Amino acid sequence: MVLGSVLNPVNSSMIAVALVPVGAAFGAPPAETAWLVSALYLATAVGQPVIGRLVDSYGPRRLYLIGTAVVGLAGLLGVLAPSLGLLVAARVLLGLGTSAAYPAAMHLTRSKAERTGRESPTGVLTVLAVASQTVAVIGPTLGGVLIGVGGWRAVFAVNVPLSLACLVLGAIRLPAAVRRGRRDERDLRDLRDLRDQPDLTGRPGTSGRPEISGRPEISNKPDRLDYGGIALFAAMLLALMLFLMKPRPAAWCLPVLAVAAAVAFAVRESRARNPFIDLRALAGNRPLIATYLRQLLGCTATYAFLYGFTQWLEEGRGLTAATTGLAMLPLSLTALTVSAVTGRRPAVRGKLLAGAAVQLIACVALLASEARSGAGLLIAVGVLAGVPQGLIGLANQTALYHQADPAAIAAAAGLLRTFMYLGAMAASAANAAFFAHGATTGGLHHLAWFMLGGAAVLLLLAAADRSLGRVPDPVPERS
């Protein structure tokens, strides 16, 4: 399950060092190759909550195996793609295929916690977070090595063996799912038996136990998907991204379409019986909303740095893809160390405050970077950027685990990833705007100002959220 959950972050980060070689291969500018980033995140932003709902209904095994098989097919398509358009299609398939593992992992974690009585399985959450952080931050380095050995198509080809490994391990290790309908039938039968037992006075059903009359409220069928809500959500994101990737007066209809789709989506979801995203429940859970907003802000700055800094190192500094990957090692090692050291400590509010503060400092250091800057400054920038990467995502994941409804933990976890990908799409749009004519030093500085604004808002939100101090301490885990 851990291996499957890292497929998305590794594909998200490896592509950072492949954008320039892909652009050279197809004669495409940065504004067009940015769709290799946005396509994956657009597909995942929609796919994560959808598959999260399916995991809650059908169990994790089936969705996990289907998803990892799609990842292998996407890898093959990327290897064979003769055009940038088909390469973007391969990234869409990657986004959909990698959407299953994380909701499935959170579903299994919550199920195990309920069976064992542990309130806070920080060990499992830490493993998931550290694994994702590790592959996300070493992705540029890994991508650089793969490109150096086999060209940019190796970044897609690596998904084939990874997919096969996930399929074999998932088929062997994941438990068979119990259909929710069958489980609910068993629970309903037990409840009826309890009703029919006599109470202390000898009368059946009068001891305060719940009465069951008429048709049961529990359905024997999994909830139907809200296809209309899914379509409106996807239309809203697509229209918004099409405009942000290339804003111009002639495209005025795109933001109008995005707003109209957003309004229609809100109206539909507030009335739907089984909404795609339960806005009514979400509106009543303000701490969870705050967690989603923090995830959006943190990931916007994280991915803006990941894609913007790597492109600038290749174009602005003239480094090769392999050398750029090695130059990102300080970021990778710092993020991994911070996640490993702080993972088992809840301290959600402290992690968010520290992460946002260091993110601000990293943006200032980025503003000081020039084409002739020494290696020492570039290493310092990478180290500073690695600290928030090791803190913010782990803190938000821990907060969500305690804030979300346990019965819908997979859907909530999928929505957390959706907000992460919304941040990545915002970062991709920012990169396309600031690097419209290449990854210049001036564009990098404009990107740094954009990141600095988001980090400042994140710091204010974390400081103002009093609910973060109420996350329970972990229960010691027994081997």
Question: Per-residue DSSP letters for 60-122?
Answer: HHHHHHHHHHHHHHHHHHHHH--SHHHHHHHHHHHHHHTTSHHHHHHHHHHHHHHHHT-S--H
Closest CA to 359 of 451, 476, 229: 451
Hey, is 204 helix, strand or coil? strand
Which of 53-62, 214-223, 254-263 has the lowest average pLDDT?
214-223
pLDDT for the residue 76: 94
pLDDT for the residue 3: 66
For 457-467, write each residue's pLDDT tens digit. Answer: 999 999 988 88
0.85 exceeded by pTM:
no
Closest CA to 46 of 180, 241, 223: 241
Dihedral pair phi/psi, residue 397, rounded to 5°? -65, -40
Please determine, for residue 201, whether its predicted confidence score (pLDDT) is greater than 70: no
Please determine, for residue 119, whether its predicted confidence score (pLDDT) is greater than 60: no
What's the mean pLDDT in 169-188? Answer: 60
Closest CA to 296 of 422, 478, 188: 422
pLDDT for the residue 155: 92
- What mean pLDDT is reported for the chain? 79
pLDDT for the residue 178: 52
What's the mean pLDDT in 73-92? Answer: 93
pLDDT for the residue 117: 59
**CA–CA separation, 403 and 289 (whole Å):** 10
What's the mean pLDDT in 178-194? Answer: 46
The H or E element spanning position 478 is none
Considering 23-32, 157-166, 186-195, 215-224, the range whose residues carry the highest mean pLDDT is 157-166
pLDDT for the residue 211: 40
What's the mean pLDDT in 84-112? Answer: 83
pLDDT band for position 197 (cuts 50, 70, 90): very low
Which of 233-237, 239-243, 261-265 has the lowest average pLDDT?
239-243
Task: Spell 185-207 as b/e; 16+ CB within 10 A means b.
Answer: eeeeeeeeeebeeeeeeeeebee
Please determine, for residue 185, whether its predicted confidence score (pLDDT) is greater than 60: no
Which residues does 423 contact at the CB level (< 8 Å), separation at least 6? 295, 296, 297, 298, 299, 300, 301, 302, 303
Please determine, for residue 455, whether its predicted confidence score (pLDDT) is greater than 90: yes
Neighbours of 273 (CB within 10 A): 7
**CA–CA separation, 196 and 212 (whole Å):** 10
pLDDT for the residue 422: 81
Q: Please name the residue that has the structure tokens 């398939």.
A: 93
Please determine, for residue 393, whether its predicted confidence score (pLDDT) is greater than 80: yes
Which residues does 437 contact at the CB level (< 8 Å), separation at least 6? 443
